[in-house]
Chains A and B, each alone.
Chain A
Amino acid sequence: MDFTFSPHHIALRRMLREFCEEELRPRAKRLDQTGQPDREVLRQMGELGLFGVPFSQKYGGMGAGETGYCILMEELNRVCPSTATIIGAHIGIGAMSLYLDGSEALKQKYLPAICAGRHIAAFGLTEPNAGSDAAGIQLRAVPEGDSYYLDGQKMWITNGPIADVVMVLAVTDPALGARGGATVFAVETKWDGFSVGKPEKKMGLHGSPTSLLNFDGVRVPKENVVGQLGLGFVTFMKTLDIGRVSLGAATLGGAQAALETALRWVKVRSQFGRAIAQLQSIQFMLADMATDVEALRSLVYRTAWLVDNGQPFIKEAGMCKLLGSEIASRCIDRALQIHGALGLSRDFHLERGWRDARIAEIFEGTNEIQRIVIASELLQEVGVRIRP
């Protein structure tokens, strides 16, 4: 067993670390305060190829695989979760559905601009009445001639306000429901009938614009069906499965940042006549944090390896997301406690990290759903099928 990263992944991480420290870190506070995406830093990211990391170079991607993508998400989230979330929705679930199941023609049409960062992608699944119960979606796609007309709404869509193309799951046959009745469409946001709501005001990830999407008779040509008609759920479930791995990597970055911040503070902060690093209560917190981070790191990169090597990974991916989101929240919370009042200061980056971390236990499949996914895979291995 060789646990070392390949030289190209090590080199990629080195470049990403430098980019994040030099370009992202000075901007992270402002992004959180203003909620405006920073076009300049997004442009630089486009030039470096960061908008298509896991995708094949054939489509203009970086060709770095799932491992490379996890490295990207870890490094970005370590410094600026808002920016990481823009990328995560763009690559990890938005463009990913197209990449997994789109026809060659459709991929050639959209992926190059997506990989260059010229077009931002989004993933349109959630609706006001359909969150964990994704099968309850109501957005309707009615066929007419060589098009479909989409009517309805999507809600809580990351990148909604800035997306150029959204992969949307719509009901094509109400009678069949989830099994055979829903289809994924690649919808360009410039088309008539498409509009976005005001950006949501959230607890965290202020620099990651999220909104309602309105579809009022949006005409989508039938060539823009992603994957097979009626099998949209399969496409989207596959997308979410793989999206979990990089989300786990993102949470790893957040936990790692918390640990690093805490380690720096305990050296310089003195109370009771010595550095607080000398207090056992602090040492125990640090040990717990470090153990969590190490366990998560092993899980995430082993799962990325499974993906890159064509092995089954659904159960492990669910574990990455479940464990990662909970570990990150825990580590960041411990780090905040270690800093005392300073942890609550809005001048310092910890409270932002604390606010930014909470969502991970909820989006891309709540942790409750993850537990169902994991249990389902686990029980399947012993011959039991879970009845939903």
Chain B
Amino acid sequence: MKILVVLRALQDPAGITVNRKAQKVFVNRPQWVFNPSDRNALEAALRLGGDIVVAAVGGAAAEQVLRDARAMGAGRALLLRDQALADADAFGLANALKAVVHHLGGVDLVLCGSQVLDADLAQVGPRLAQALDWPFAANAHAVQAADGEVALITSRRGEWRQAALTLPAVVAVAPDSNKPRLPAGQQIINVYTDPGAVETLTAADLGLSEAELQPLTEPRGQSFPAERELGRRLDGDIAGQLADILRKA
């Protein structure tokens, strides 16, 4: 079975402080980590076994998670490094990954995480499925593959259900749906001292056109929630207010 796992790197949430008053994000401790549910996707792939290829778009951060993925057991790592790709939004990224799937040939299953912590990119999974005209499932637990199908467990209207998709398919894995393995030390040393452990591809290598990568959205900065007002005493219809707050939490 040939599986492509899409990985994203982001700044470690534990190293960030958000100052709502100053309306600024401070990075106290710069450190790249896997987007958490992508790590669950990689673990799910490793448990399925077969030919596992990992891909990520970006620069040094993406390269780091790709190397860690190789050290965890992925057989091949593709770094998509290109200014056009760096500027692309979810639409372009989906097209780029479609090109990767075609470039690899014979991909049965694409796995990715169901959430992306630092950007509006969880949508890349279903967009990719649309671009490939493959079925898609989100928030999957207990992913298994057999007989041309991928079986999974997912929650539907508060109930856990067994479900299946015909392969080839795109599946977004639920956060915390498994305990990702740690890479063994020997693998870390070997992968990090082997320059060939990660292959680099550009948009041109993948035959991507400008139209496929054009951004359809523009970033317009950051905004911040209101400052936390600690110690606010509730009065009046307390139960009602609490119920309201908890429903939104």
Question: B-contacting residues of A (Cβ < 8 Å)?
Answer: 6-8, 11-12, 14-15, 18-19, 47-50, 53, 57, 62-64, 68
Q: Are B192 and A57 in contact (CB under 8 A)?
A: no
- Chain B residues with CB under 8 Å of A11's CB are 64, 67-68, 71, 183, 188, 192
Nearest A residue to B67, CB-CB = A11
Chain A contact surface mostly: helix
A6 to B71, CA, bound (A): 16
Pick from B31, B185, B190: contact of A50, CB below 8 A.
B185
Given contacts A8-B192, A57-B189, 19 further A-B contacts (CB under 8 A): A8-B188, A8-B189, A11-B67, A11-B188, A11-B192, A12-B185, A14-B31, A15-B182, A15-B185, A15-B188, A48-B182, A48-B184, A49-B184, A53-B185, A62-B189, A63-B189, A64-B189, A68-B185, A68-B189
- Chain A residues with CB under 8 Å of B67's CB are 11
Chain B contact surface mostly: helix
A6 to B31, CA, bound (A): 15
15 pairs of residues in contact across A and B, judged by CB atoms under 8 Å:
A6-B192, A7-B192, A8-B188, A8-B191, A11-B67, A11-B68, A14-B31, A15-B188, A48-B184, A53-B185, A57-B186, A57-B189, A62-B186, A62-B189, A64-B185
A12 to B185, CA, bound (A): 7
8 tightest CB-CB pairs across the interface, nearest first?
A: A8-B192, A49-B185, A62-B185, A7-B192, A11-B188, A49-B184, A8-B189, A49-B186
Question: A-contacting residues of B (Cβ < 8 Å)?
Answer: 31, 64, 67-68, 71, 182-186, 188-193
A6 to B194, CA, bound (A): 13
Nearest B residue to A57, CB-CB = B186
- Chain A residues with CB under 8 Å of B189's CB are 8, 12, 57, 62-64, 68
A7 to B190, CA, bound (A): 11
Nearest B residue to A44, CB-CB = B182
A14 to B193, CA, bound (A): 16
- Chain A residues with CB under 8 Å of B68's CB are 11, 14
Nearest A residue to B187, CB-CB = A49
Nearest B residue to A13, CB-CB = B188
